[in-house]
Structures are given as C-alpha cells and as structure tokens.
Structure 1
Amino acid sequence: MGVQSVDRTVEVLEALAAKGGTSVNSIAAQLGVHKSTASRILSSLAEHGLVEKDALTGSYRLGFGLVRLASAVTSRMDLSQIAQKLCDDVSAELGLTANVAVLDEIYAVNVSQAMGPGLLAPRHYVGLRTPGHATSSGKMLLAHHPRAAEAAMHSTLEPHTDRTITDPQALAAELERVRERGWAGSDEEWEQHITAVAVPLRLPDGAVEAALTVTGPAHSLQPDRFSDVAHRLREFAAGSSRWV
C-alpha cells in the first residue's frame, strides 16, 4: 500500500472520529477522490472491524476493532506505570538500582528505573538495549523465550568483560540454571565491578512478560546474596497489581 493510501485511510478515520458517522459521498468529497475510491477504503477498514456500516442508512462510523488496538496501547502504559512503582519500591527498600526490562530480539530493554538512596547509577538504563547473554535481565528473558535464546546462541556473543559468557553451549547451560533456580545473576559480566540479579515478572497465565532487576557495586551486591535478594524481589513482584 502506498503512502498516499495510508494517508487517506488515516483521514477517513479522523473524519469519522470528528463526525461520529458519515456517508461515502461525504468522505469522498473530504478526501477529494472518486466515490469508488472512498468506498474501497471504507470496505477494507470494515473487513478489519475498524469501521462499521449502518445497515439502514448506509453511513459509516468507527468500529470496535479500534478498541482492541487501543487496549494494546493502554496495556503498555499500564506496564510502564506499574513497573516504575515497582522499581521505586524495590530501590527504596534494598538501596540498589532497580530496573524492569522487556525482551527485544536477543536484547533486554529497560522500561523503568529507580536508584537507591545515595547511589549513582552506573548507567542510565531506561531505553537502553542491553546484551541478553551478559546481563541478569537478558538471561532471565532469554531463558523463558526459546526462539530468542536460540537466536542468541547463533549470534556472536560479544565479550564485555573477561567474565562474559561467549560460548553458546555455556550460555545454554546458564539459561537452564536460570530456569531451575528462578533467578539470573550477572557477576561483573557486562560491567566491571557491577553485579545484578533478576527475577521473572509473570502474567497470571504464567508467561514471562518482563524481568525485575537490581544492580549495584560488587561490594554491595555480592554473588552469595543473589538467592536471598531474588527471594525478596519475587515478593515485590507478587505484590504488584500486574504480575504474580
């Protein structure tokens, strides 16, 4: 579909939103096109439930298919808002930098962040694409998304420190351990002197939607604390209004 067709489709939707409902002739006049062109656009939108035709008057109005699309945006907004509150609560109690990340191909992308009292974040993480094989959030997300894990193991596993996992078989074994114990750790694998631990954020159907991570200086978040910290993170996650 050409750009002009997309523009015309958007104009149709905006016209219906403004008028509540209108005829093919009116749409054609507004777009400056032949009636048949307007009719084709409306018919295509109707097939997808984005507009509806009144059987009595023949006029068109917006359809409930738009509600379905809008709900997806609302869901993402809900995720961001709830994730930020979760990060704020976790960071305030544990005194560490907290992040929520989602999967993007073979990477983890942070959508929310909060820093612990008196801490300076090693990086500003929000919007940052972090390597799945080297971060706790990335490992957690890869462990629960088999296709992404397979893609990661067939990619070049770049070393970020001398502790980064760069062997595909070693990564596969690490992801299996993540699934078994329910948390993922990064022991100076992405940044020197920085450690992190992550737990899954599960929807009620069991799907892992995101990962909750705390990050800190190695002296403040030592690997022997990972399991205990992960247990506390799971308690925070279970107390949210979105994840179980």
Structure 2
Amino acid sequence: MPGPIQSLSRAAAIMRLLAGGERRLGLSEVAAALDLAKGTAHGILRTLQQEGFVEQDPESGKYQLGAELLRLGQSYLDVHELRARALVWADDLARATGEQVYLGVLHQQGVLIVHHVFRPDDSRQVLEVGSMQPLHSTALGKVLLAYDPVARGELHGADLKAYTSRTLTDPAGLDAECALTRERGWAGAVEETWEGVASAAALIQDRRRNPVGAVCISGAVERICEAGFVRPELVASVRDAGRSISRDLGAARF
C-alpha cells in the first residue's frame, strides 16, 4: 500500500494550525511551528490560497483559513443532526443572554465548533465554525470530559497546556472539576484559555442518553461573571438550552 503524500500531509497540518489560532499567522510563524523550510511553507500556502482554502491579509501579509474551506465543511455540518436540531435553541440562547453561543462536539483531543451564533450587537465578530477549542480549559470541553469517557481517554497521558495562570493542567485537579461539573450539571471556565473571557456550558444528550455535544455562552468576564462566578441566570439559560436540544434529539427529560 502506498504511503501518505507528504505535500498533502503538510497542507493538512497548515490548515489545522490556522484553524487552531485566534489570529492570523505569518509565513515565518507557520514554517517555525511545523518545522518546515520557508520556501516549502510558502509554496503550500500559495497553492492553498489559489484554491480558496487560505486567505492572505493584504496589509499584514499574514494568513488565515479561507471561505472555500468553510463552504466544503458546511456540506457536512448541514446534515449534522445535532446542529440542525440546535439552530433555533442556539439563536434563542444568544438573544436571551446577549452573548455569543457555541455548539461543540468531541473531535480527537479537542472540541470542534459546529455552530456559532454571534453576540446580538453591532460589534465586529469572526465566525468560528470549524475551529477547535481545548478540552481541559474550556466550558465546552469540561462538560464533555465530565460525561464522556471517550473524551477523557483522549487526554490520557497528554501534557496539558497552560494557556493562562488559571488553566488546570494536573489530572487530579481536572478530576475534581469533572466531579463538580457532574454534581451541578454545568461547567464554567473563567480566563482559563483566553484572558478576559468567561464561558458556561451544558451537556447535550441523544435519545439513548449518550453525550453527543455541548452548548455554551461565551463573553467578557465583566458581563458573564459577578464576584468571580458565572451569573446564575446565565447558567440557567444555558442549562435550559442543553435540555431543550437534548429533548429535540429524543432524550427523556433530565
């Protein structure tokens, strides 16, 4: 059996790298992150750009994922039952809380964002459908870790990255956080991945009561939190959304 084609593997690695960041990356950053020669990285980026999978900012010269990749991904997401069932509830949650809403599912060692509702104001926002979030430092990830054994298995033996000073990186601390999540029925993350950002998430189950995803709100700490804790009314809204989506998927009341 023939082996993998190196250029395609490198192109896939570049797209994963661009999907995982919050900012555009320059040629040198891409090459250094993937241990590629600048010429090699530049050639792959130019090809991806020509095909619409990557876009280059004309002012900074830095790269980000392109619209063509989102269009192709949308063909999968449109038939994804979880996303289809959650559309109305996610919109309602954004309107009720005034914050952006994410729907995420387990994917390898992270959370894949399959739906994103913008915060209902006039601020400039970037669509994050198709991006990845960490399992151990986000509200979405913590919910999946607490209820899905497969998610926990993905992190077994992994070195957990500290994104901020508040990130949980030791297994014992993460176990305690998962136990707390199961006890209260929701997960929170306050400046654990991004400074100044807080979130709250609830589980989504299918008709067999299997964990199939999570829904969360995310926004500035000063709006989400009060006295350092997620505001109770926001937690209630997120939990209601999780239960509503689960019921639409056939889960019994919980």
Which secondary structure state, in structure 2, belongs to the residue aligned with residue 160 of structure 1? coil
Mapped pair 1:225 → 2:223? no
Residue 234 of structure 1, CA deviation: 2.2
Mapped pair 1:187 → 2:190? yes
Which of 171, 174, 188 is matched with 2:174 structurally?
Answer: 171
Alpha carbons 1:153, 1:171 under 8 Å: kept: no
Alpha carbons 1:183, 1:227 under 8 Å: kept: no
Which secondary structure state, in structure 2, belongs to the residue aligned with residue 170 of structure 1? helix
Mapped pair 1:242 → 2:249? yes
**Structure 1 consecutive aligned stretches of length 4 or more whose deviation exceeds 6 Å:** none
Mapped pair 1:212 → 2:219? no
Give unmatched runs, 5+ long, in structure 2: 3-75
Deviations 1:145-200 (A, max 9, x none): 22321431410100111111111211111111111111000100010000000000
Alignment RMSD: 2.6
| Paired residues, number | 175
Deviations 1:109-130 (A, max 9, x none): 1100111221647753211111
Q: Matches of residues 1-244 of structure 1 in structure 2 within 5 Å?
A: 76-118=79-121, 120=123, 124-222=127-225, 223-240=228-245, 241-242=248-249, 244=251
CA distance in 2, matches of 1:165, 1:126: 25
Residue 88 of structure 1, CA deviation: 1.2
Alpha carbons 1:153, 1:172 under 8 Å: kept: no
Q: 1:169 to 1:152 in 2, by over 3 A?
A: same
CA distance in 2, matches of 1:153, 1:165: 15
TM-score (norm 2): 0.62
Partner in structure 2 of residue 15 of structure 1: none
Which secondary structure state, in structure 2, belongs to the residue aligned with residue 186 of structure 1? strand
CA distance in 2, matches of 1:79, 1:143: 19
Alpha carbons 1:115, 1:121 under 8 Å: kept: no
TM-score (norm 1): 0.64
Give unmatched runs, 5+ long, in structure 1: 3-72
105-114 vs 131-140, which deviates more? Answer: 105-114
Q: Name which one, 1 or 2, has greater alpha-carbon Rg.
A: 1
Deviations 1:26-79 (A, max 9, x none): xxxxxxxxxxxxxxxxxxxxxxxxxxxxxxxxxxxxxxxxxxxxxxx8994332
- % identical equivalent positions: 26
